[in-house]
Amino acid sequence: MPTLKIDGKEITVEKGTTIIRAAEQLGVEIPHYCYHPGLSIAGNCRMCLVEVEKMPKPQIACHIQCLDGMVVHTQTKSVQKLREHILEFLLVNHPLDCPVCDQAGECRLQDYYMKHGLYDSRLNENKVKKSAKAVPIGPTIMLDSERCILCSRCVRFTDEISKTGEFGIFNRGDHSEIGIYPGRELDNKYSGNVADICPVGALTDRDFRFKCRVWYLAKTESICPGCARGCNITVEANLERPHHANGERIMRLKPRFNGEVNDWWMCDAGRYGYKFIDHDRLLEPLIRNQGTVQTTGWNDIVEEVIKSLKGVLKKSKDELAVLVSPEMTNEELYLAKKLFVKELGLERVLLLRTKADGDQDDLLIRSDKHPNRKGAEWIGFEESKRAIQEVIDQGLKGGLKGLILFGQDLAALYPGRNVEDLLQRLDVSVFVGSNHNLTSEHVQFILPAATYAEKNGTFTNFQGRVQRIREAIPPAGQSKAESEILTLFADHLKLDWSYENEEQIFDSLRRSVPQFQGMNYSKIGREGVPVE
Amino acid sequence: MGAVVIRTKVVQRPELNFWERLYFPEVFRGVWLTSTHFFKNLTLHAFHALGLFRRIAAAVTIQYPEQLWKLPSRSRTRHRLTKREDGSPRCVACMMCETVCPARCIYIVAEEHPDPHIEKRPRSFTIDLGKCVYCGFCVEACPEDAIRMDTKIIDTSAYSREGMVLDIKELLNPTGVPKTL
Ligand code: SF4
Ligand code: SF4
Ligand code: SF4
Ligand code: SF4
Ligand code: FES
């Protein structure tokens, strides 16, 4: 294990560690462009040059491995001068695009130039113009090769991570240019990541394009609900300037590093799967009565639902089914179990998916498109196709009197069955969910629920890692988190639940479900905790 | 930075002398002064109304809007958006002005420009003058010289709050009347 000194601070690192990584551990930042911890070393941008004593020339910190007794300087006059010159070279052909560039505000060229810039330009030459500006190179990404600094991160990403190999650097010298191989387009399941890793504005996200400026965004750490992987993400919202993007609040999702789950990446389905948060939402409690729809208040609707449920329960407990979903958080599933199984004594509280299974690959994507199936299983809900079929059969025969759905679009899940007819036959049908769908159009009571971006809680991913989602934006309209809705039911049933927030629910959850033992919100923190 | 030394100058309150303390002489002097101005202005305004002695100014008050005043050339007046040669706005919707505006009264919505070399342009650009504090930061911040406060339009009043809101059309082609020399 070599011990070395960086800027006078001593550190011992694993053999094979590069200087840039050792410096990172010490909290010394070495400017860099081409180096990315998730990709192979290219060593082409030269921004990371540092001085190493006894070495005749400056060395690139991203490539040189630490040796015992090394003495590294990252802040000397000559290193600073080198950075100025490297930046000068990088900017030789760079357009002055910052005002129209979506990267502005999170651009490494801007950041480093502020710190290490030359400021007095010595260049009087004409820039070598690359091909056309602002070319869509696929459904998700826009390329502006003029802005590219040829760091090759995108090339390495498509070669090493997505293994699709669309990018290449063409021509030589001053005329080198980033591009897509002829006849191809950047269309893979992880394409959005290249916009994240491009240190400049050469690759930008078409979905985010011109929606708003990055410094308007409020960032909240959360978990992608797109599949059982549970990639760590940052939800980026624009709340203060609603005139942008037609009042949409969520502007984009970005992956957040978690070495145990998703490294630096996320898939496109997850990245662009946020639109439902600001579109087609159920905004207020609704009661449907013989064709007419009436909006009402929360207390009234809960009162009504309980009255109807009691009517059904008086006759038989067998004629009421509750379908919870693996999209609900651990806290909500725990409350659902407590309310419907323990307090009301129902036998048919079943787990039912909200989405069909999809594709799976070796990188991130899981075929199970729900974020919390593992958690549901731990809490005691196992999805059984047969049990659900029985409910539907019974319903179609008229043997079912009440049905409570948590977000499932029965009509879409069972297109062959006459779900509409089933719902018509019920005495009481309740839909707790965030968005309009075919099923919500036919139920009697609609209780609008908050989406994952509007509430707190935890999901358990397929590895058994418990991770936190956080409220990034307030619930739309009058919608409420399912945990709040369930607590409201408990209040109206005069049950003594004294939960003030999700954290308290989690505290009682961990006491009753062994897998969650010893966990709490502060332990789960930013990265989540695996079950032992 | 060194320590800040604040210089102080002690100002003596003037003492009243014997004559002033007699009270009445000073009161009459004040009434005399006011009356001379009053009668001088009255006479001059009467003559002005008849079209006489117009070159001798009456009171120091400027009779706006009949009479205009020359503003310093750097004074900030109502905003306008400058144009390219083809008449389209120079603005590229970079949001610098919207960001810097301390009153948060600029509202820009961006869209794609058909020419990829310009790339971005404002779909709408609105300034709510009812909130604007005329600080001029928007002009300072603009990297494109696309917004200026040099229309010399200084009377911004309206019968409603909505009336104080200028849209992109009004900003590109101000219809207000300059009220300064
Ligand atoms: S497009 Fe971006 S990531 Fe790719 S080489 Fe150019 S600067 Fe690097
Ligand atoms: S792999 Fe799954 S969790 Fe990750 S971003 Fe994609 S959908 Fe979201
Ligand atoms: S003058 Fe000041 S307050 Fe008025 S729009 Fe410009 S930046 Fe905003
Ligand atoms: S700063 Fe200038 S170019 Fe940018 S949005 Fe404002 S007016 Fe337009
Ligand atoms: S980061 Fe080391 S050469 Fe680019």
A408 falls within a domain: yes
The C-alpha atoms of residue B3 and residue A531 are separated, in whole angstroms, by: 60
Measure the CA angle with vertex A398, ends A394 and A402; round to 5°: 80
Best of B92, B97, B109, B144 to substitute, by most chain A Cβ atoms within 10 angstroms, is B109
The C-alpha atoms of residue A301 and residue A298 are separated, in whole angstroms, by: 5
Where helices occur in B11-126 by DSSP H, the ranges are 18-21, 24-49, 96-100
Residue nearest to atom 6 of ligand 1 (CA): A148
Asked if A448 and A391 sit in the same domain, the reply is yes
What value does the mean pLDDT take over residues A335-353?
95
Mutate to test the pocket of ligand 4, among B127, B140, B142 (most ligand atoms within 8 A of CB): B142
What value does the mean pLDDT take over residues A4-29?
95
Asked if A297 and A199 sit in the same domain, the reply is no
Percent of chain A scoring above 70 in pLDDT = 99
pLDDT of residue B5: 81
pLDDT at B1 over 60: no
Rounded to the nearest angstrom, the distance between the alpha carbon of A422 and the centre of ligand 4 is: 58
Burial A422-437 (b: 16+ CB within 10 A, else e): bbebbbbbbbbbbbbb
pLDDT digits (tens, 9 = 90+) for A117-174: 877 777 776 777 777 788 999 999 999 999 999 999 999 999 999 999 999 999 998 8
Asked if A249 and A185 sit in the same domain, the reply is yes
DSSP A106: S
CB A268 within 8 A of CB A254: no
Asked if A431 and A458 sit in the same domain, the reply is yes
Range of the domain at A196: 98-104+124-278
Nearest to A133 among B98, B117, B144 (CB): B117
Q: Which of A256, A457, A436 is nearest to A372 (CA)?
A: A457
Q: What's the start-to-end Cα distance of chain A, in Å?
A: 31
The CATH architecture that domain B80-172 belongs to is: 2-Layer Sandwich (3.30)
Atom of ligand 1 nearest to the CA of A34: 8
Q: What is the pTM of this model?
A: 0.89
Asked if A359 and A292 sit in the same domain, the reply is yes
Asked if A83 and A176 sit in the same domain, the reply is no
**pLDDT, averaged across chain A:** 94
Q: Which helix (H) or strand (E) holds A516?
A: none
pLDDT digits (tens, 9 = 90+) for A361-402: 999 999 999 999 999 999 999 999 999 999 999 999 888 999
Positive or negative: CA dihedral A402, A408, A411, A414: negative
The C-alpha atoms of residue A455 and residue A486 are separated, in whole angstroms, by: 14
Cis peptide before A285 (omega within 30 of 0): no
Asked if A130 and A240 sit in the same domain, the reply is yes
Q: What stretch(es) of chain B map to CATH 3.30.70.3270?
A: 80-172
Asked if A63 and A15 sit in the same domain, the reply is yes
pLDDT of residue B2: 58
Q: What's the start-to-end Cα distance of chain B, in Å?
A: 44
CA distance A236 to chain B (A): 18
pLDDT of residue A125: 66
Residue nearest to atom 6 of ligand 4 (CA): B97
- Specify the CATH number for the domain of residue A189: 3.30.70.20
CB A516 within 8 A of CB A378: yes
What value does the mean pLDDT take over residues A98-103?
95
CB A479 within 8 A of CB A448: yes
pLDDT digits (tens, 9 = 90+) for B41-88: 999 989 988 988 888 877 777 878 888 888 898 899 999 999 999 999
Percent of chain A scoring above 90 in pLDDT = 88
Residue B84 falls in which region: left (phi positive, over 0), alpha (psi -120 to 50) or beta: beta
Between the alpha carbon of residue A196 and those of residues A132, A136, A223, A504, B94, the distances in Å are 22, 16, 17, 36, 21
- In the β-sheet with A320-324, what is the strand arrangement from edge to edge? A292-295, A286-289, A445-448, A428-433, A402-405, A320-324, A349-351
- Specify the CATH number for the domain of residue A80: 3.10.20.740
pLDDT digits (tens, 9 = 90+) for B98-144: 999 999 999 999 999 999 889 999 999 999 999 999 999 999 999 99
Number of domains in chain A: 3
CA distance A9 to chain B (A): 31
pLDDT of residue A133: 85
Asked if A231 and A347 sit in the same domain, the reply is no
Rounded to the nearest angstrom, the distance between the alpha carbon of A209 and the centre of ligand 1 is: 18
The C-alpha atoms of residue A229 and residue A462 are separated, in whole angstroms, by: 6
A117 falls within a domain: no
Distance of CA B55 to the CA centre of its chain: 27
State how beta strands A203-205 and A49-52 pair: unpaired
Is the beta carbon of B172 within 6 A of some atom in ligand 4? no
- In the β-sheet with B165-166, what is the strand arrangement from edge to edge? B106-112, B120-128, B165-166
pLDDT digits (tens, 9 = 90+) for A445-463: 999 999 999 999 999 999 9
The C-alpha atoms of residue A55 and residue A66 are separated, in whole angstroms, by: 13
- Specify the CATH number for the domain of residue A319: 3.40.50.740
Where helices occur in A264-346 by DSSP H, the ranges are 268-271, 298-315, 330-336
- Chain A residues in contact with B122 by the CB 8 A cut-off are none
Which ligand sits closest to the CA of B146?
Answer: 4
Percent of chain B scoring above 70 in pLDDT = 98
Residue A380 falls in which region: left (phi positive, over 0), alpha (psi -120 to 50) or beta: left
Partners of A11 in beta bridges: A4
Measure the CA angle with vertex A412, ends A410 and A415; round to 5°: 95
Asked if A67 and A163 sit in the same domain, the reply is no
Using pLDDT thresholds of 50, 70 and 90, give the confidence band for residue A278.
Answer: very high
CB A34 within 8 A of CB A152: yes
Q: Which of A330, A306, A332 is nearest to A320 (CA)?
A: A306
Task: Tell me which residues of chain A, numbers 90 to 109, contact chain B at a CB-CB cutoff of 8 Å.
Answer: 97-100, 104
A478 falls within a domain: yes
Residue B68 falls in which region: left (phi positive, over 0), alpha (psi -120 to 50) or beta: beta
Torsion of CA A40, A45, A48, A52, to 10 degrees: 90
Asked if A57 and A74 sit in the same domain, the reply is yes
Is the beta carbon of B92 within 6 A of some atom in ligand 3? no
For the beta carbon of residue A166, count every other beta carbon within 10 angstroms.
Answer: 23
pLDDT at A46 over 70: yes
pLDDT digits (tens, 9 = 90+) for B134-167: 999 999 999 999 999 999 999 888 999 999 999 9
pLDDT digits (tens, 9 = 90+) for A161-210: 999 999 999 999 888 999 999 999 999 999 999 999 999 999 999 999 99
Using pLDDT thresholds of 50, 70 and 90, give the confidence band for residue A468.
Answer: very high
State how beta strands A167-170 and A402-405 pair: unpaired
Half-sphere exposure of B1 (CA within 13 A, CB side): 3
In A377-522, DSSP assigns E strands to 402-405, 428-433, 445-448, 457-460, 465-469
pLDDT of residue A31: 96
A53 falls within a domain: yes
Final residue of a domain: which of A278, A313, A345?
A278
Taken as a whole, chain B contains a residue count of 181
Asked if A220 and A324 sit in the same domain, the reply is no
For the beta carbon of residue A287, count every other beta carbon within 10 angstroms.
Answer: 17
